[in-house]
Amino acid sequence: MAITTRPTCTRCTRPQSHCLCAQIPYLPNQSQVLVLQHPDESKHPLNTARLAVLGLQQAQLWIGERFEALPALLERMEQVCVLFPAKAHHVCQPLSAWNTSVPSLLIVPDGTWRQVRKIIHANPILERLPHLSLPLAEPSAYRVRRAREAAAVSTIEAITRALQILEPEQNFSPLLRPFQTMVEQQIQAMGAEVYARNYQKNH
C-alpha cells in the first residue's frame, strides 16, 4: 500500500492547503537576526523560527549544533546579544544604548531548553557574549504546544518581543500574523473537544 503525503509549500513548509505565505510580512529590521536551530527542532511541523526569518528583511536560519562560521560573522559586528536567559554579569546593558546605526546582531538559539543548552555548550563563544533576557509580559499565544515554564513563549514571539525592545521605533507585531493563523489552523484541525481536553486546561 502506497503512502501518500500532502503536498507542502516549499517556502513556509506548511501543507499547501494551509500555506501561510500570504500572512508573512517583510519587515525592515536594523539589527540582523541569526537563528541557530537545533536539527531536531527543524523537523517540527510547527516551526515558528522559520516564519520569523521569512518575515524579516535581515534574518538568517542556520541549522545544526556546532557553527564553525559563527566567529567570522561576529568579527563583523559591533553589537551582539544572545536571546537567552542572562546571568548577572552577561546582561546586555544598557538596552537604551543599543545603536542600530552600527552592525548589530541578535542571536537566537532555537529548540527545547535541552537542545538550546547543547548548542551553547557546542559553541562556547555564545556563553561569553552578552545575553538578553525578556521581561515578563503577556503569556504565550502558542496554545497548541505545551511548555514546562509558565513564562515560556514561542521563538517567533521571543524574536518579536526582543526586536521591539532593541528597535522601539519599529512595529514588529505584524511578524506574528502567520503564527496566529497557524495556531488557529491547528485548533480547527484537532477539533474543539480534543483541544479543550489536551490544551485548554493549561491556560
| pLDDT band with cut points at 50, 70 and 90 for residue 152 | confident
For residue 170, the Cα-to-chain-centroid distance in whole angstroms is: 18
Label residue 123 by pLDDT band (50, 70, 90).
Answer: very high
pTM over 0.75: yes
The whole-number pLDDT of residue 203 equals 43
Q: Using CA of residue 162, residue 164, residue 168, residue 169, what is the dihedral sign? A: positive
CA distances for 97 relative to 94, 101, 129, 174, angstroms: 6, 11, 17, 25
- Choose the weakest-confidence range: 37-46, 83-92, 93-102: 83-92
Would you say 34 and 107 are in contact if contact means Cβ atoms under 8 Å apart?
yes
Q: How far apart are the first and last CA of the chain?
A: 41
d(CA 147, CA 139): 11
Q: Running DSSP on this structure, what letter comes out for residue 11?
A: T
